[in-house]
């Protein structure tokens, strides 16, 4: 076997190389007992990024218009606070932020059902740090979702 096949190319990555050699990883969410497609399946990354951009834009508007009195320089700091409050209140109660609802996503517990308020607080605090959200597992769950026992699914 050629070493290039074992490592994979920089375009396809090591997972594609392992799949070419016969490894079966299954689909995203299979280990969690979620369906492959449709409602209840793992949320696609594009929609998740879109939802967080919608939420951040909304938080920036609230911070700029209501909290800073039009001072754009300090709006970003206030927007992070608004983002954290928005995340705890909406994910902890209805399971989705306005951006997630707009794009058809919901945050649920891994075992099914609503995410509890303490778990929503942990998830939002880690998401506000941004670094845990950039580390994903095989099911496309960020570290903030793994540590809070959550998963983002399609509605």
More confident residue, 69 or 151: 151
Rounded Cα distance, 25 and 36, in Å:
13
**Share of residues in the chain with pLDDT > 70 (%):** 89
Residue 56 to residues 44, 81, 106, Cα–Cα distance (Å) = 19, 11, 17
* Of 56, 110, 112, 61, residue with least CA distance to 84: 56
Res 136: pLDDT: 86
Strand partners, 136: 142
**Share of residues in the chain with pLDDT > 90 (%):** 65
Mean pLDDT, range 75-81, rounded to an integer: 93
Q: What is the pTM of this model?
A: 0.82
In the predicted model, what is the mean pLDDT of the chain? 88
Residue 85 has pLDDT above 80, yes or no: yes
């Amino acid at each position: 076997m050629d070493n290039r096949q074992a490592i994979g190319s920089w375009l396809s990555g090591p997972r594609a190389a392992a799949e070419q050699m016969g490894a079966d990883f299954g689909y995203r969410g299979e280990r969690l007992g979620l369906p492959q497609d449709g409602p209840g399946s793992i949320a696609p990354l594009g929609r998740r990024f879109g939802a967080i951009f919608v939420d951040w834009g909304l938080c920036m508007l609230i911070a700029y218009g209501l909290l800073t009195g039009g001072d754009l320089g300090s709006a970003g700091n206030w927007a992070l606070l608004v983002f954290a409050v928005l995340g705890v209140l909406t994910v902890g109660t209805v399971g989705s932020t306005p951006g997630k609802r707009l794009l058809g996503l919901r945050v649920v517990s891994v075992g099914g059902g609503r995410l509890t308020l303490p778990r929503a607080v942990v998830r939002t605090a880690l998401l506000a740090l941004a670094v845990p959200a950039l580390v994903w597992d095989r099911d496309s769950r960020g570290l903030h979702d793994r540590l809070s026992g959550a998963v983002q699914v399609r509605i």
